[in-house]
Structure 1
Amino acid sequence: MSLSTRSKVPFDETTRLLQPDTSSSVSSDDDSSQSSSSSSPHDSLSPPRLYGTTAKSDEEEQYEPDTTTSTPVQAEYSNGFIARVVVALLVGVFTASADGSLVIATHPIIASAFNDLENSTWLFISFLLAGAATQALYGKLSDIYGRKSVLLVSYALFAMGSALIGVGQSMWQVIVGRVISGSGGAGMMALAAVIISDLAPLRDIASWQSYLNVVATVGRSLGGPVGGFLADTIGWRWSFLGQAPIFLLAMILCGIVLPNLTTGQSRGNADATKSRLARIDFLGAAFLGSGLLALLLPLRLAGQRVPWTSPVIPLLFALGIVLLGLFTVTEMRWAKEPIFPLRLLNNREVVFSYLIMACQIAAQVGMMVSVPLYFQVTERTSSTVAGAHLMPAVIGNTVGALLTGAWIGRTGYFKTPLVFAGVISFISYGLLILRWKGDTNWAESLYIIPGGFGTGVSLNAVFVALQAAIDPKDKATAISGLYLSIPIGSILGMAACNAVMQAVTPVDLASRLRDLGIDGIEAEQIIKQAISRLDYLDEAPQVVRAAIQAAYVRGLEYSHGVSLLCAVVATAAAACAKNGQLRR
């Protein structure tokens, strides 16, 4: 069979993205029978790099899909069916997203209930670290056991963790509950995205994915206020106990609506269970998870629990490097089915996608952390009002996600939104550095809109760009890797911004105090009070208060500089990525 004939026939989930050639009268059944009895020299072509694209220029390349892979034939699903699946998925996505901002808003209240306020940040740090350690597992597990069953397990883990938090009688029990919830939450968004990519053509995936992003954004927006209201009225425990029945509802809906999306391998008898268990790369997963923990943990400890100069910090970094080295050796030499195939990283488009995601998330998290602090310091607003200043960014994120889905669905291009997202984010963070000097009016407070808009655009476009660059059989593991970039980017963004603030603000404040004639022990006491509690601003003399506010503004400028740098890296990666137009 000729190459031209093969390219006209829908074989799998990749080729059904290509525009049909009406000049061909060859049916898929006829072609299937011919392919079984003939061997074409074209079958030995190099693996495709950009699936479902059409040649436009030297930069916009088309690669013939490799039909010799074991990827099963994918059924076509109606938009109505996909819509029902998405609605079922939205319940879990919304609740899990609301949980994150709920904990951020109420963690001081929760920790205070156990007289352990100094460890309150572990309520969300433990969640992020557990997610980073287990994220890579879900892609391979869904390939082995099926999307639906693994998604239901992630729901069950999140519900169990939430219930444990609600009934926990000590701080360590609550933290254990957060770890369990984090391990379950790692699979929710990733598996929801994988399921949508299983059902919809690639060109339409961005539109469906935008609904998940919008609902997740709305959940993050509402979680804090709702959690604060519940904590003030009926108690913080009900914020978590109430999640268990919601996830039970999500499990029922997904159990009813979701199709059984599996690879069709190793199923149907008693030996299949043992066979599938043997396919799980437990050793690689252990090395990857523990290695990431060892690298990310010191980023949260340093400067807060222990000083950067502590020997614990380099030891943890060294341990993380060793464990990731062992992970690399395991995947390359011993693992029959790697938990994350390292060959994916030989594809520069995959690397660019992961880099863009991590940098955009780091930039966004850095801004989300610094904006409330800015208004609390400069205007002495309440936590509620300061948090409300993030709403423009949330709205920008929502609009960006929706418009990107519509753009990709209409035009098929995904590189342009990625570059645009980086540029507009750069403009946003640049405006924050140049214009937020302590006397920000309502119009200038809207400078965060482009940052949120750019993140919304980027998250949707990079998801499509990744899938356009990989072999379909690697889809689940590649998407899990993409979602692993989110907790990594979040932790890096928070750690970098916090480190910059801690380095710049005390030094700048000391200089300003010297200009006021305040030095020595008195200056040290003022600096210690200023960086440990914001209400010291209400107690300090007017001139000292002005100096503290100015020092905080300077530290926040450098913090926005971290976000700006991340936006530059994301823009450069997007500019270097290949271009292409997805066919229908």
Structure 2
Amino acid sequence: MTGSLAVEASERTPLLRPRRSVESLKDVTTISTRELSRNGEDIPHRKAAVDEEAPPERDADAAPTEPNASITRIISVLLIGGFISNADGSLLLATHPVIASEFNALDASTWLLTSFSLASSATQPLYGKLSDIYGRRTLLVVAYALFAVGLVLVGLGTRMSHLILGRIISGMGASGMTVLVSIVITDLLPLRDVASWRSYVNIVSTTGRSIGGPLGGGLTDTVGWRWSFLLQLPFALLGIFLILLTLPSDTTHNASLDPDPEPKSQSKLARIDFVGATLMTLTILSFLFPLELGGVKVPWSHPLIPGLVGGGCVFGGLFLVSQAWWAREPIFPVELLRVGDFVRSVVVMACLIAGQMGMMSAVPLYFQITAHASNSVAGAHLVPAVVGNAIGGVLAGAVIKRTGNYKPPILLSTLSASLSYLLLLLRWHGSTSFLESLYIIPGGFGSGIAQSALFISVQAAIPNQYMAVAASALYLSASVGMMAGMAGAAAVLQGVVRGSLGRRLGEGGLGLGMGEIVDKATSDVRFIDHATPRIAALVVKAYVEALAWTHGMLLLVPALTAA
């Protein structure tokens, strides 16, 4: 096979390309690790055909397998942004009621969280195309600058509106800080090495999300909540300085990889698809607002929910039409929707992250209700899942780098997640031992595997010129899955608790004042500490039943990926 002019494409073929030699980020897009023809079939490397079954170390054209010092330095700098942006995203989980209460706006406290997540999700897909036009370094500096401006507005804000605006701006910056690090890694490294480095990104991001809440609570209790934002500012400014110091300025795509080289004669501003960007943002927000508002701000039956979903469908249709027939340089090429592996990877990512976040949101509540655990102890029960997530990402990266196979790890991730949710459904019934509390490890393990392997699946399936756009889309699917998982788990939990508790109170002859008891039980997790023992026992049983339904819903999520 090595002597032939072409090789039969397989899962491993894109990952077995000879490694490129990277002297600087300036040249990262001039040589592709996998060149794909227009019909999606693999094209042999210009220098020599590659035997897909041959061990990669036998390739005479391959460079040393370890990344050089400059690559390590660049990626290490970008991990700073990945850490602080993810930590900031969870910083307000424990403190948003305290912050809002200072402005007598407790009813608007959740907007401090919602505004950040919506702004982040709406801008994630834009960074891929814009970084192709203006360069990775420019967009990274813009992202860090937006994040820093948002921190200042929140830290010095005198009104609730100032804080919400600051969170919106920070979210717009945080999305770029997260997305672009993976895009740069793909620029710098051969595809089969990307999974290993992506696992480190996953560890840093997961660690940031894990400590953000406790860190925010600790700073609020000691030096005040404003400092939890202002103390991040030096790290953001340091990140800007190091990016300017380590990343070369020319990081745009080479003309040979541009699907439409004619616009190169135009100004960079003229190349931006403003209409497509606006329609895409409206589409994303129209679909995400119901997930954030439904069951929290307004009931799911409120006319606003179907109105927003309908608006999202209209905007989405107009967006696809504009990208297919009107845009000169589409911000999301519709050709990607014809690539089966890309579409499947995006859907699987959304489903697995939805299941993971649904589980993560329910675990602390389970121990608060059944074991009367404090906030800190309940939060500590998430640590096994976080550890599993880190281990899964690292192992997936090592396996992909060694074997060149990424589909078996994806299958393993769905099986591992399913095992976790099945164990929770069968064994978590109100009295949970320490060993049983570790049943969440396979869930985190599967999520970690998926985040590394699916990124490789997407990059292996698409032409190189669409790499940044596809990476942004994959991150968007994770954000959508995150919000959908938490919203879905909350909706099932609230609905079942209300129905189950109402039924149990009626059967126990406690129907008088039942509505008030149900409202208090579903709005205050500490209600059982003040209720009579009889009512408290009924509340616990209702919550355990509801959480079992939640675990059952989570078990269906991996089944959707298999379908």
- Give the TM-score, by structure 1 length: 0.85
Match of 2:528 among 537, 541, 544: 537
Unaligned runs of 5+ in 2: 8-12, 20-35, 54-62
Aligned pairs for 1:106-117 (under 5 A) are 106-117=95-106
Q: Which moved more, 1:440-449 or 1:77-86?
A: 77-86
Which of residues 135, 140, 149 is equivalent to 1:146?
135
What is the identity, as a one-letter code, of the residue corresponding to 2:367? F
Say yes or no: does 1:47 pair with 2:40: yes
Query: Are 2:476 and 1:484 aligned?
Result: yes
Is 2:17 the partner of 1:18? Answer: yes
Which residue of 2 is the match for residue 83 of structure 1?
Answer: 72
The aligned counterpart of 2:29 is: none
How far apart are residue 299 of structure 1 and its match? Answer: 2.0
Q: Distance in 2 between matches of 1:565 and 1:6?
A: 42
* Whole-Å separation in 1 of the counterparts to 2:304 and 2:38: 51
CA distance in 1 between counterparts of 2:122 and 2:210 reads 26
**Change in CA separation of 1:218 and 1:50 when aligned onto 2, cut-off 3 Å:** farther
In the alignment, is the contact (CA less than 8 A) between 1:211 and 1:402 conserved in 2? Answer: yes
Q: Give the aligned partner of residue 199 of structure 2.
A: 210
Match of 2:524, as an amino acid?
Answer: R
Distance 2:251 2:308 in 1: 40
Name 2:230's counterpart in structure 1. Answer: 241
Match of 1:160 in 2: 149
Matches of 1:550 and 1:508 in 2, distance apart? 8
Change (3 A) 1:465 1:51: farther
Pair 1:51–1:205, CA change in 2 (3 A)? farther
Contact 1:397/1:455 (8 A) holds in 2: yes
After TM superposition, give the deviation of residue 561 of structure 1 in Å.
2.2
Alpha-carbon contact 2:112-2:167 (below 8 Å) kept: yes
Aligned to 1:568: 559
Higher relative contact order (CA 8 A, sep 6+): 1
* Corresponding residue of 1:555: 546
CA deviation after TM superposition for structure 1 residue 562, in Å: 2.5
- Could you say which residue in structure 2 is the equivalent of 1:437? 429
CA distance in 1, matches of 2:130, 2:227: 32
Q: CA deviation at 1:398?
A: 0.7
Choose which of 441, 466, 480 in structure 2 pairs with 1:474.
466
Q: Deviations over 1:293-339 (max 9, x none)?
A: 11211222122211222222211111111111111111111101111
Q: Is the counterpart of residue 123 in structure 1 residue 112 in structure 2? A: yes
Which of 328, 353, 358 is equivalent to 2:320? 328
The one of 439, 460, 466 equivalent to 1:447 is 439
Are the structure 2 counterparts of residues 49 and 515 from structure 1 closer, same or farther at C-alpha, using a change threshold of 3 Å?
A: farther
Closer, same or farther: CA 375–76 of 1 in aligned 2, 3 Å: closer
Q: Secondary structure at the match of 2:416?
A: helix
CA displacement, residues 413-446 of structure 1 (integer Å, 9 cap, x when unaligned): 1011100010010000111111111111111111
Could you tell which deviates more after superposition, 454-463 or 490-499? 490-499
Task: Kindly indicate whether residue 239 of structure 2 is the aligned counterpart of residue 250 of structure 1.
Answer: yes
Contact (CA 8 Å) 2:15, 2:191: kept in 1 or not? no
Alignment CA distance shift 1:126-1:51 (3 Å): farther
Q: What SS class does the counterpart of residue 105 from structure 1 fall into?
A: coil
Tell me by how many angstroms 1:389 deviates: 0.6
Question: Percent identity of the aligned residues?
Answer: 48
Change over 3 Å in CA distance of 1:534–1:355 after alignment to 2: same
- 1:215-226 maps to which residues of 2 (within 5 A)? 215-226=204-215
1:185-207 deviations in whole A, cap 9, x for unaligned? 11122111010001110011111
| Deviation readout 1:152-191 (Å, 9 max, x if unpaired) | 1111111111111111111121111111111111112211
Structure 1 residue 293 corresponds to structure 2 residue 285: yes
Cα separation, partners in 2 of 1:16 and 1:489, compared to 1, 3 Å = closer
Instruction: Provide Cα deviations, 1:73-106, integer angstroms capped at 9, x if missing partner.
Output: x999943222111111111111111112212122
Is residue 262 from structure 1 mapped to residue 252 from structure 2 by the alignment? Answer: yes
Gap runs ≥5 in structure 1: 8-13, 21-42, 57-73, 574-584
3-state DSSP class of the match of 1:443?
Answer: helix
Distance 1:219 1:343 in 2: 35
Go from structure 1 to structure 2 and tell me whether the alpha carbon gap of 1:540 and 1:198 turns closer, same or farther (over 3 Å shift): same
Which residue of structure 2 aligns with residue 105 of structure 1? 94
| Structure 1 residues 313 and 75, CA gap change in structure 2 (3 angstroms) | farther
Secondary structure of 2:432's partner? Answer: coil
SS class of match (2:430): coil
Using the alignment, how far apart are the partners of 1:201 and 1:435 within structure 2? 44
CA RMSD of aligned residues (A): 2.6
- Is the contact between residue 51 and residue 471 of structure 1 (CA under 8 Å) also seen in structure 2? no
Contact 2:16 2:52 in 1 (8 A): no
Separation (CA, whole Å) in 2 of partners of 1:493 and 1:557? 15
Bigger shift: residues 257-266 or 409-418: 257-266
Code of the residue aligned with 2:110 in structure 1: it is T
